[in-house]
A and B are shown apart, each in its own frame.
Chain A
C-alpha cells in the first residue's frame, strides 16, 4: 500500500502494524514509512476509520513527510494505492492538534460508522526531558466517490 498527498509532497509506502511495546500503535522507526493499524478497518472496509500514522521525526532519520500534515488545508486530496492495484481517494475534512491525554482514542480507532481515513502523527510542544511530543496531529478525511 502507498499513500500519496500531492499537495504536500507526500508519497510513502505503508506497512501493516499492530501494537508497540507500551500498548500504543507500533510505528516503524523511519518517519518516511507510514503504518496502517491492521486490527482496525482496512481501506477497503465498508465501515469504520482506517488509521494510518507515521513518526513526525526521528533522531536517526530526521524530519518525516507527515510533519507537513499540520498545514494541510481542508479539501486536500489523499490517495491510497491498495495492494490489488486499486486506488481510494479521500478529501481532508479537518486537521486538529490535540493534547495526547485528550485524544478520543475510541473515536480514532472506531471500527463502526461511515468509512473514513484518519491520519495521525505527533506535533505541538515537545517535552525535552521525556523526549515526547505533547500532542497528536489528527487529520480526518472522507472518501471521495
Chain B
C-alpha cells in the first residue's frame, strides 16, 4: 500500500487521474479459467475498503489497475470456470504479496456475480463473492438488494420510515421485491432508527436489481453507500383489460339498447317499464 509520502506518489496520482478519466481500467483479455466450461459468466468487482488503492490480479495477471475505494468495475464477460483473485497494494509489481486473498471464485455459466473487496465485521480486509439474482421480476416491481460489507455491527434498513430489513450482518445480503419507485432509505444499528447512513433516496427501477452496498467503517466514521444496478429482468403486464360494458361488442343482441348489460340492464328495465306504462295509458284511452 502506498502512502502520500512514498516514492511512487506522483506516478500513482497520474495513473489514477488517467484511470478516472476513462473509467476504471480493466484488462481482462486473455485470461482463461483454471477449469474451463461452456458459456460465459458476468463478473463485476466492487472496491469497498476505505483508504486503500489496489491492484487486482486474476490468475496472476494484473486485471484492474489502481482500483480506488468506492469504484465498481465491470461487468466483464468471462468463460465459466474458477478464477484465482488476489488484491494487492497499487504499487505491487506482482500478486505475490496480496493484501486480500488469493481467493478462488467459481463462476458458473449464465450467472451474474459481484466480487466485493471489503472490511469484515472485525475491520480486517476480506473478499466476498455475491451472486446477483437475474430471475424475472413481476411487472411494475424492482428488486432491492442490500449488502452489508462494512466494519459495523448488524443493521436494520428502514424504507420510507418503516423497517424493511432487520438484523442484516456482514457479509450478508437481504433481497426485497417492491413496487418500482424511489424510496428514502436509512441504515441504522439493529433495533434502532438513528441513521448511521442516510437518509438517502434510492431509485428502484422496474425490472432491475438495485444493489446497495453499505461499506466503510463505523469506527472510522466513513460509512458510505454504493449502488450497482443489474437490468433486463423486466416482465410484461398479463393483459390490457379495456372494456366493461359490451357496448361495441360484435355479439350484442340485435335489438340491443345502448346500455344492455348481462341481459338485465338497468335502462332496459326502465325501457320495458315505460313501454308497459305507455301501453296501459293507451289502453285506458
Closest to B241 in A: A24
Task: Return the contact of B258 from the options A53, A62, A109 (Cβ within 8 A).
Answer: A62
Q: In the assembled complex, which residues on chain B have CB atoms less than 8 Å from the CB atom of A70?
A: 248
Closest to B262 in A: A128
Known interface pairs A37-B237, A108-B236, A111-B234. Does A123 touch B244 (Cβ–Cβ under 8 Å)? Answer: no
Compute how far the CA of A111 lies from the CA of B236 in the bound complex, rounded to whole angstroms: 10
Grouping DSSP codes into helix (H, G, I), strand (E, B) and loop, the A interface class, with mixed when no group exceeds half, is mixed
Binary B-proximity of A4-38 (CB < 8 A = 1, otherwise 0)? 00000000000000111011110100000000010
Binary A-proximity of B245-285 (CB < 8 A = 1, otherwise 0)? 11111111000001101110000000000000000000000
Do A126 and B236 touch across chains, with their CB atoms under 8 A apart? no
Cβ of B242 within 8 Å of any chain A Cβ, yes or no, is yes
Q: In the assembled complex, which residues on chain A have CB atoms less than 8 Å from the CB atom of B73?
A: none
Known interface pairs A24-B237, A53-B240, A132-B241. Does A125 touch B249 (Cβ–Cβ under 8 Å)? Answer: yes
Cβ of A100 within 8 Å of any chain B Cβ, yes or no, is yes
Compute how far the CA of A121 lies from the CA of B180 in the bound complex, rounded to whole angstroms: 25
Do A105 and B236 touch across chains, with their CB atoms under 8 A apart? yes
Do B239 and A103 touch across chains, with their CB atoms under 8 A apart? yes
Closest to A122 in B: B243
Do B206 and A39 touch across chains, with their CB atoms under 8 A apart? yes
Closest to A125 in B: B251
Cβ of B226 within 8 Å of any chain A Cβ, yes or no, is no
Task: Return the contact of B246 from the options A18, A62, A66, A128 (Cβ within 8 A).
Answer: A128
Cβ of A139 within 8 Å of any chain B Cβ, yes or no, is no
Do B240 and A25 touch across chains, with their CB atoms under 8 A apart? yes
Do A123 and B248 touch across chains, with their CB atoms under 8 A apart? yes
Compute how far the CA of A53 lies from the CA of B243 in the bound complex, rounded to whole angstroms: 11
Q: In the assembled complex, which residues on chain A have CB atoms less than 8 Å from the CB atom of B248?
A: 56-57, 63, 67, 70, 123
Closest to A68 in B: B248
Binary B-proximity of A38-78 (CB < 8 A = 1, otherwise 0)? 01000000000001011111110011001100100000000
Interface residues on chain B, size class: 20 to 34
Known interface pairs A56-B248, A121-B243, A126-B249. Does A109 touch B140 (Cβ–Cβ under 8 Å)? Answer: no
Inter-chain contact total with CB atoms closer than 8 Å: 122
Cβ of A124 within 8 Å of any chain B Cβ, yes or no, is yes
Cβ of B138 within 8 Å of any chain A Cβ, yes or no, is yes
Known interface pairs A105-B236, A126-B251. Does A22 touch B241 (Cβ–Cβ under 8 Å)? Answer: yes
Q: In the assembled complex, which residues on chain B have CB atoms less than 8 Å from the CB atom of A24?
A: 237-241
Compute how far the CA of A131 lies from the CA of B259 in the bound complex, rounded to whole angstroms: 13
Closest to A104 in B: B236
Do B234 and A39 touch across chains, with their CB atoms under 8 A apart? yes
Q: In the assembled complex, which residues on chain B have CB atoms less than 8 Å from the CB atom of A67?
A: 247-248
Cβ of B102 within 8 Å of any chain A Cβ, yes or no, is no
Cβ of A129 within 8 Å of any chain B Cβ, yes or no, is yes
Task: Return the contact of A59 from the options B234, B242, B261 (Cβ within 8 A).
Answer: B261
Instruction: Report the minimum CB–CB distance from B142 to chain A (whole Å).
Output: 10
Do B207 and A39 touch across chains, with their CB atoms under 8 A apart? yes
Cβ of B139 within 8 Å of any chain A Cβ, yes or no, is yes
Closest to B264 in A: A128
Compute how far the CA of A136 lies from the CA of B240 in the bound complex, rounded to whole angstroms: 8
Known interface pairs A39-B206, A125-B251, A126-B249. Does A58 touch B240 (Cβ–Cβ under 8 Å)? Answer: no
Add 4 more A-B contacts to A23-B239, A59-B245, A126-B243 (CB < 8 A).
Answer: A39-B140, A55-B244, A123-B243, A128-B246
Instruction: Name the 8 nearest CB pairs between A and B, nearest first.
Output: A122-B243, A126-B249, A126-B246, A19-B140, A57-B247, A24-B239, A125-B251, A56-B243
